[in-house]
Homo-oligomer: A and B are copies of this chain.
């Protein structure tokens, strides 16, 4: 018996993973905004490298007020819209409702905790290239798996809970491979190892991944930013129990650079936000990581620089 889900924010990411859950047999309620009328009539269409599929009927809502309480609220909004959540969430929350954020960045779970009390919070790290190509239409270009871990308020590794196992099963029924993660925070640092250099540099350099890798100076900047992330993660692990750590192997840097070089040229999510005139997720990706690193005593001058750079860029385009 699968769980009941609500997807808050049916963009490329929320829409794709929500559609997969419904495809696997789960009950899924979708919150829509601009696309509401279209999706109510015509459902969702996913053009996927793993095979196209259509959900002709979905439970579409234009407000969470018409949704039932659910087992899991899946957050698909951009972090820059999180101020909407205190109003959006209450109708969805039963006493045992869990929150699963699919959002980018760091420390998002702790922010959510302020609004959902001691309900379980999970983080899903999306490894996917997907974008919206029309109302209710999502194109899934590459990858598509998920890393799933549970948040603990004390930032210790939470291990694998029965709830997490159940969510993994629901995704598996919808053909989504999920890697279970014991230490969500370590997984977030590992993801930042790519996002911190390449999201920001793609904006300030107006460059795609292949262009960044082809430029020796941008490549050098990326390497330094990655070194700062290693430093931050390691210091963040200093509060863990003896024998545990958050060391990311330094060899990952060269591996990720080589991998990025071989990737199909890619426009990062932050560059897409920039090009579309949306605010940048500077606080979620950079600000939170930076403050965590500083509180843990790490010296990360390159992240600091890029953070202020992006804040200034965002302000100067009228979004900051």
Contact = CB atoms under 8 A, between A and B. Distances in A.
A203 to B, nearest CB: 12
A236 to B, nearest CB: 20
A305 interface: yes
Contacts of A206: 316
Copies in the complex: 2
Contact of A215 (B220, B306, B315): B315
Nearest to A310: B217
A312 B204 CA distance: 11
A308 B204 contact: no
A144 to B, nearest CB: 32
Contacts of A127: none
Given A217-B312, A221-B309, 16 more contacts: A204-B309, A205-B312, A205-B313, A205-B316, A206-B316, A207-B316, A211-B316, A215-B315, A217-B308, A217-B315, A221-B305, A224-B301, A224-B305, A301-B302, A301-B305, A305-B306
Interface of A: 204-207, 211, 215, 217-218, 220-221, 224, 301-302, 304-306, 308-309, 311-313, 315-316
